[in-house]
Amino acid sequence: MGKILQQVIATALIASRWLMAPLYLGLIAALIVDAIEFFEELVHTIIGITKLSADGTILAVLKLVDLVLIGNLVLIMITAGIGTLGTIKQSEDDAPLIQFMGRVDFSGLKFKVIVALVAIAAVDLLESFVEVNSVDKTDLLWQIVILLTFVITGLLLAVMDRLHEGHE
């Protein structure tokens, strides 16, 4: 009876990873929303290009870059989820897919996510600096604090990974 219960629990635990599948499908929907927003912003920028000042052009481009960075962050999470759901059969037909995805361990995933967050925070801060006269200074200060927090977090994660590698 004990071995059967152990097998049932092990099977349930392994199968539970599929509970993440709807979440990853939701991320795909979020990526579609991000792409739609990008193209709406791009069309809006192209239509209004003659009315934009130099700062307006910079802001429009920064908004597009911000949307691309957010899309990259979502894509990182989606591709990481493929590893969660199971291994990919490696056949010669799948070689380009496997090569595209690569293999990202948890440490590499943390690094990619924190770099994406730092980039997004930096672009948002740059947008605020371009509009510094119309931005609340308290909000600007919070954006700086958030950016520095992400940078420090990234550095601490790198130090922890280095320390962990030293113990293995």
In this predicted model, what pLDDT tens digit does every residue of 81-122 receive, in sequence order?
777 676 555 555 655 555 555 556 677 788 888 999 999 999
Q: Looking at residue 93, what is its pLDDT?
A: 60
Q: Looking at residue 149, what is its pLDDT?
A: 96
Determine, yes or no, domain membership for 11: no
Q: Looking at residue 112, what is its pLDDT?
A: 86
Report pTM.
0.76
Determine, yes or no, domain membership for 108: yes
Determine, yes or no, domain membership for 13: no
Determine, yes or no, domain membership for 12: no
Q: Looking at residue 111, what is its pLDDT?
A: 84
pLDDT-flagged residues of the chain (< 50): none
Residue 64 sits in which domain range? 21-167
Q: Looking at residue 91, what is its pLDDT?
A: 58
Domain total of the chain: 1
DSSP secondary structure letters along the chain: -HHHHHHHHHHHHHHGGGGGHHHHHHHHHHHHHHHHHHHHHHHHHHHTGGG--HHHHHHHHHHHHHHHHHHHHHHHHHHHHHHHH-PPP--GGGHHHHHHH----HHHHHHHHHHHHHHHHHHHHHHHHHTTTTS-HHHHHHHHHHHHHHHHHHHHHHHHHHHHHHH-
